[in-house]
Amino acid sequence: MRNMNTIDKIQDKSAVIGIVGLGYVGLPLMLAYAAKGYKVLGFDVDQAKIDCIEKGESYIKHIGSDELAKFVGDRLIHATADFARIVEVDAIIMCVPTPLDEHYEPDLSYVIGTMDSVSPYLCAGQIISLESTTYPGTTEEELKPRIEAQGLVAGKDIYLVYSPEREDPGNASFTSRNIPKVVGGSTPACLEHGVALYSAAVTEVVPVSSTQVAEFTKLLENIYRAVNIGLVNELKIAADKMGIDIWEVINAAATKPFGFKAFYPGPGLGGHCIPIDPFYLTWKAREYGVHTRFIELAGEINRSMPQYVVSKTAEALNSVKKAVNGSRVLLMGLSYKEDVDDMRESPTFELMDKFTEMGAEVDYFDPHIPIIGPTREHANWQGKESIEWSEENISSYDVVVIVTKHKAYQLNDLCDWASLIVDTRNTIPNDRLRNIWSA
């Protein structure tokens, strides 16, 4: 049995922090704890990630290798695929995916699979925190029974908390270290330990009364964004029919110093949070007889945007007497947001599928993603490479569709070389609007 004074170990920095899942959430968290002087042991089933970490090499573009290499060299960071080494850590932070299944219902297989891998090696005194976005009740209904099946009582032998990740890849102003951390505990003792755990690495910790409140908090944050994006996407279509520039409207409205926050239309939602998380609450709400109409309507509108882009592209091609069938289409931007290499749930994949189904030849250009790696839902595109940026290449396409607004784009060259551009992100400068279609 390990020493039960876990909070003391955190405070004197002798605690070893275990992080399970070393992706866009787990890797920054490893660095945050190591920067405070803690030894961190990372766990992942992907041996390629383990190998990169052990060599001090970052596999996420916006996370540099210098800091990682220093911590590995200082023996503060180590990574393994051996879950039996859970016995070595004082805290276990789970950062694994929570996707949707084909029916837009929660897929907790990664959470449950991870918990089943971890639970045989749990020791008294450890803290377990789930960071994966999920529906209210997951921590108590799925994790707690598996822990207590090992003979460990939450709040007495082991400390169970939920603290939702709030990562924003590529955001230089806010990182794991300074984004306020919401923490809910299964019991008051669990909360006390969770607050101690995160206070060690994060500037501000926000305790709440339960794991369910913490789970709901993350869903509210992302539902707020999804619903407002759905609203502005719907207004974009209405404004287009009226011949009104929705971007000018939004910029004008944003001059109001109170009561308005600008959201912008786009070709569809991307990333691991906004397209997925709202449906976790929709699914759970049905258990209570609640029909979450705003969430479902926003989801319907947002999911329809790739088809809207395809329709506008077909209209643009038709204006120059061409059909989608047989055309060469270049999609600019594979990542779901600007200036990062994160392609999770990117609407570009759906556009690639739709244009291909219509008989077009489709390529992509993204300076941040030179080749498409493994994905859960788009395995057919794995291995496809970004085109090289050149006048010869760009001018060979019948239409270029701007899907993601990267700062690295050479827009003047694009305007000079491309014969037809469909802009979904208000990217092209006003003085270069020639053969430009807004979508």
Write the DSSP assignment of 188-232 as a string of letters.
HHHHHHHHHHHHTT-S-EEEES-HHHHHHHHHHHHHHHHHHHHHH
Average pLDDT over residues 252-275: 92
Mean pLDDT value across the chain: 94
Q: How many CA atoms lie within 13 A of 197 on its CB side?
A: 35
Is there a catalytic annotation at residue 52?
no
Is residue 236 within 8 A of residue 246, CB to CB? The reply is: yes
Average pLDDT over residues 177-206: 97
Distance between CA atoms of 311 and 361, rounded to whole angstroms?
16
- Provide the sign of the torsion angle of the four alpha carbons 101, 105, 110, 114, taken in this order: negative
Average pLDDT over residues 277-286: 94
Predicted local distance difference test score (pLDDT) of residue 434: 65
* Share of residues in the chain with pLDDT > 90 (%): 88
Average pLDDT over residues 47-69: 94
pLDDT above 60 for 1? no
pLDDT above 70 for 67? yes
Distance between CA atoms of 362 and 223, rounded to whole angstroms?
32
Question: pLDDT tier at 431 (50, 70, 90 boundaries)?
Answer: low
pLDDT above 50 for 147? yes
Question: pLDDT tier at 432 (50, 70, 90 boundaries)?
Answer: low
Domains of the chain: 6-210 (3.40.50.720), 244-438 (3.40.50.720)
Average pLDDT over residues 261-283: 91
- Of 241-255, 306-320, 416-430, the range with the lowest mean pLDDT is 416-430
Predicted local distance difference test score (pLDDT) of residue 433: 62
Is residue 339 within 8 A of residue 170, CB to CB? The reply is: yes
User: What is the token pair recorded at 209?
Assistant: 């009364």
Catalytic site residue from 52, 95, 190, 273: 273
Distance between CA atoms of 305 and 21, rounded to whole angstroms?
32
Average pLDDT over residues 290-300: 94
Number of helices (H) and strands (E) in the chain: give both, helices first. Answer: 15, 13
Surface-to-core class of residue 317, CB atoms within 10 Å of its CB (0-12 exposed, 13-18 middle, 19+ buried): buried
The pLDDT tens digits of the residues spanning 302-354 come to: 999 999 999 999 999 999 999 999 999 999 999 999 999 999 899 999 999 99
Q: In what order do the strands lie in the sheet with 91-94?
A: 77-80, 39-43, 16-20, 91-94, 127-130, 159-162, 181-185, 205-208
Choice between 396 and 175, residue whose per-residue pLDDT is larger? 396
Predicted local distance difference test score (pLDDT) of residue 170: 79
Distance between CA atoms of 36 and 178, rounded to whole angstroms?
13
Distance between CA atoms of 151 and 129, rounded to whole angstroms?
18
User: What is the token pair recorded at 324?
Assistant: 């989608």
* Residue from 192, 254, 266, 193 nearest 225 by CA: 266
pLDDT above 70 for 2? no
The pLDDT tens digits of the residues spanning 177-191 come to: 999 999 999 999 999
Surface-to-core class of residue 116, CB atoms within 10 Å of its CB (0-12 exposed, 13-18 middle, 19+ buried): exposed
